[in-house]
Structure 1
């Protein structure tokens, strides 16, 4: 194959990757829309369990076809168990937030995750982070405060749960780097879902009869079942689109598109719930987006591996 043909194929792959990532971030907020609809009558741990169950079922045929389901050591299983526990905490925290906060506000706060990942990667992975990126992290946190502060006055400490979710996803992203080079991403998704489901079921068993709106399971009605199915299916679709997007284009190229999710979440939340951020929250959203994009730009400029790459196995909420 000539160099011109190879370049054309590479360009085509990147274009396809960008399209798939755009579709993924367009679908992702729908997960949260269904979750917010379900949280009115169903506890957040049960919603998270349904999401894990449907995702795992959707992934199972693909993992079986690729014949790598059983290719695991005990050490890898422990790794997946830890990842599953961290992701479970993240998802339950975020879904619980949706009962009290607007979808767009919660997602905007969650998007401090790349900023948190930048800092954690510097501390635990020894990645060199210059003062400019640290400054961008500080600016990004300031933007988050602009959103959290009025939300905190309205709903209290619940406004901090998206930050908890973001920290968990950042930790999971660092763990993914240790696995991504030697394990199939489909298997990573599948095993994470299984462990997450196990943890959720355990929490629901312990919480049964407690009256908790987080851990006490209920029998959903038909409408609730539709919302739960919507959560799981849209999560599976977004995950699959993300997998193929990252296989087609470099993560550093796709990363900026992730911030479109805030825009699409705002649009969907406005259409379904009538929620729309006020001027102060929009300012915070824009600051978070600007700081995140600056961090990505600095990483690409110095040709380092993007610390904001959460890979196809880490989105979450």
Structure 2
């Protein structure tokens, strides 16, 4: 493939499919955090992250073999996948650590500086066309997220910065996924990311053994903890592959506002599992987020026939 040529713009049907897949992905992805919060009581963050990658790789392996995706593996792209694995490892450990001290909905809401970062970075590095309406939708959605959690940085201290670190990592990760998704098989991409992430976690756990660190000192999980870690990996595999196909169909900046739906499902799951029921202000925030997301769906469905991206695949190529 000539890396200097522009990728064809997304069609109306492609953008619609990307929006649908992203919606399903973000509605289920908070289950990753629910299982992680249950596991973090007894298991260090790096071990939960390693468990996620191990389960994710096992889920991907049969499909990769069946699709013969190994033939698509490229040494040229290995550095790219290694960077993606390192970035997602830092993001996961940061966010799982946050869950030990904060409620799921609070941590996810702070994390939602990520779509704003993604929209801006998408315009800078992927040269995606971003209008004031999408910027406005991101801003409105972020305002709704803040209404839900009513954050107090004085109460949680430096821990409140960890979701921001996680958000920046994910924004970079998504940009890299956006480029790779047009070159490689999505299942192979998820498998390679998981292998690299598992390798990095193994190194951290080896170095942290015996230190007493609640981040890196490994422990032997009990029966229930094994189930929680498996749940983290399974939900990550499902939401991850849906996300890859979504970014394959539509521009990152188009999909970014839909990620605010994650706070809606996170609030529901947190209430069902931990009994955290939103107050009136939080429900107002949920309605604002939903209105913002539905507006993006409606607008992109109506105007998807217009060019929305002229991304050059050379932009982030190694």
Q: TM-score, normalised by structure 1?
A: 0.78
Output the CA distance in 1 between the equivalents of 2:106 and 2:67.
39
Q: Distance in 1 between matches of 2:283 and 2:162?
A: 20
Distance 1:113 1:47 in 2: 22
Q: Bigger CA drift: 205-214 or 44-53?
A: 205-214
CA distance in structure 1 between the aligned counterparts of 2:38 and 2:159, rounded to whole angstroms = 18
Take 2:300 and 2:129, find their aligned partners in 1: how far apart are those partners?
10
Residue 305 (structure 1) shift? 4.0
Matched, 1:165 2:171: no
User: Cα offset for 1:96?
Assistant: 1.1
Taking the aligned partners of 2:192 and 2:105, their CA distance within structure 1 comes to: 30
How far residue 238 of structure 1 moved from its aligned partner, in angstroms, is 3.5
What SS class does the counterpart of residue 219 from structure 1 fall into?
A: coil
Q: Structure 1 residues 91-100 or 65-74, which shifts more?
A: 65-74
What residue number does 1:211 align with? Answer: 212
Contact kept in structure 1, 2:109 and 2:149, CA below 8 Å: no
Deviation at 1:57? 0.5
Matching residue of 2:8: none
- In 2, the alpha carbon distance for the partners of 1:89 and 1:137 equals 25
Which residue in 2 is equivalent to 1:276? Answer: 277
> How many residues align structurally?
294
Q: Which residue in 2 is equivalent to 1:100?
A: 101
**C-alpha distance in 2, partners of 1:144/1:21?**
18
Contact 1:91 1:165 (8 Å CA) reproduced:
yes
Unaligned runs of 5+ in 2: 1-11, 311-318
Q: Distance in 2 between matches of 1:141 and 1:105?
A: 13
Q: How does 1:1-317 map to 2 (within 5 A)?
A: 18=20, 24-143=25-144, 150-240=151-241, 258-284=259-285, 287=288, 301=303, 303-305=306-308
TM-aligned CA deviation for residue 277 of structure 1: 3.6
RMSD of Structure 2 on Structure 1 (CA): 3.4
Q: Deviations over 1:142-182 (max 9, x none)?
A: 55555676342321121222222222111111111221111
Gaps of 5+ in 1: 1-9, 308-317
Normalising by structure 2, report the TM-score.
Answer: 0.78
* Alpha-carbon distance between aligned partners in 1 of 2:298 and 2:214, rounded to the nearest angstrom: 42
Q: Is the 8 A contact 1:296 1:306 kept in 2?
A: no
Contact conserved, 1:101 with 1:151, CA < 8 A, in 2?
A: no
CA contact (8 A) 1:105 1:277 kept: no
Pick closer, same or farther for the CA change 1:125–1:25 going to 2, 3 Å. Answer: closer
Say whether the 8 Å CA contact 1:34–1:227 is kept in structure 2: yes
**C-alpha contact (below 8 Å) 2:261/2:293 kept by paired residues:** no
**For each residue in 1:87-142, what CA deviation from the matched residue of structure 2 results, as whole angstroms up to 9, or x when unmatched?**
11111111111111111222233233222111111222333434444455455555
Partner Cα separation in structure 1 for residue 52 and residue 99 of structure 2: 15
Counterpart CA distance in 1 for 2:172 and 2:120 is 11
